[in-house]
Structure 1
Amino acid sequence: MKRDGQCLCGAVRVALAREPQAVNMCHCADCQRRTGAPFGMALWLMEADVTISGETRPFVHLSDKGRELTNRFCPNCGSTICFTAALNPGLIAIPAGLFADPDTPPPLRSVFEERRHPWVAVPEGATRLPRGRDG
């Protein structure tokens, strides 16, 4: 199934050629700050399966585990368009909110649970990891 999304102002568009390999909800401090919400939710795919059109700007920083992350955002409206992690070469994460689609698949994993706000519900059956994929 092809999915199309866009930033808030519509200057940057994202097209997915296939369904995501993984869907995560992340409660880390970076995702909370990046989204302005209690967690971030992203669809992970191979970079070759994602087409991004329009200008984006990078912001490179280190995660709380000291690993390099690159967020790309729309320079007009500030929406996060994607992010990549040095830990996952060849993969790209697309924020679920860009699709504004209630049919977006639910998260299969909830990561950095140690920072999860206690009132945030995690879908039944999702794998729950206290500190990311490597525990």
Structure 2
Amino acid sequence: MERPITGGCLCGSIRFQSTSAPIATRACWCRDCQYLAAGNASINLIFNKNDLTITGTLQSYQSTADSGNTMQRSFCPHCGTPLFSESSGRSGLTVIRAGALDDPGLGRPQSFIWTDRAPTWGLIDQSLRNHPRQSPAIPSPVGQPPPITSS
């Protein structure tokens, strides 16, 4: 990777930088992501948490996913921009919302997940890998336990 991947929230209170490329990029049609993306699929980039630097103070919301994993979703307390999520089943990984990237072009999905939850009008690129529910496991960073495959 030539230069760090950077981004932040709408008001600029939160900034982040990753020194590594994303492990995966995908569009998620789960019902929780539809709430976060104003009814559409959420476009998510998955990064090694250890390569991520965040400045500013985040607000968080915790909930339980269909898998039973605890999800922590972080956002800017000033402008409300959804920024990050972490799953208790995938320690060592952080999801960044593509809309928060300085270069949102980096968010091109490699696959779609939870396609069985998409509304009838939902757009799903059939030329990519599609999964009716969660995709196969994403490798954990070195030294971390294997991830659970559900979100």
Quote the Cα distance in structure 1 between the aligned partners of 2:124 and 2:17: 27
CA contact (8 A) 1:106 1:123 kept: no
RMSD value, Cα: 1.7
Flag the 1:118–1:36 CA change in 2: closer, same or farther, 3 A.
same
The equivalent position to 1:113 in structure 2, one of 109, 112, 115, is: 115
Question: 1: CA distance between counterparts of 2:107 and 2:58?
Answer: 25
- Rounded to whole Å, the distance in 1 between the matches of 2:104 and 2:69 is 32
Q: After superposing the two structures, state which structure 1 stretch, 124-133 or 48-57, moved more.
A: 124-133
Structure 1: how far apart are the matches of 2:49 and 2:104? 24
Identity of aligned residues (%): 28
The residue type equivalent to 1:84 in the other structure is E
Say if 2:6 and 2:102, in contact at 8 Å, map to a contact too.
no
Partner of 1:90: 92
Quick one: which of 22, 25, 38 aligns to 1:23? Answer: 25
Aligned counterpart, 1:73: 75
CA distance in 2, matches of 1:94, 1:102: 11
| Structure 1, unpaired ranges of 5+ | none
Q: Deviations over 1:56-107 (max 9, x none)?
A: 0111100123221000111101111200011111000000000152531411
Normalising by structure 1, we get a TM-score of 0.90
TM-score, normalising length from structure 2? 0.81
> What amino acid is aligned across from residue 91 of structure 1 in structure 2?
L
Alpha-carbon distance in structure 2 between the residues aligned to 1:118 and 1:18: 36
SS of the residue 1:103 aligns to: helix
Q: Which amino acid aligns with 2:25?
A: V
AA matched with 1:43: L
Consecutive unaligned residues in structure 2, runs of 5 or more: 136-148
1:9 aligned partner: 11
**1:124 Cα deviation after fit:** 5.2
Q: Which has the higher strand share?
A: 1
Q: Give the number of equivalent residue pairs.
A: 135
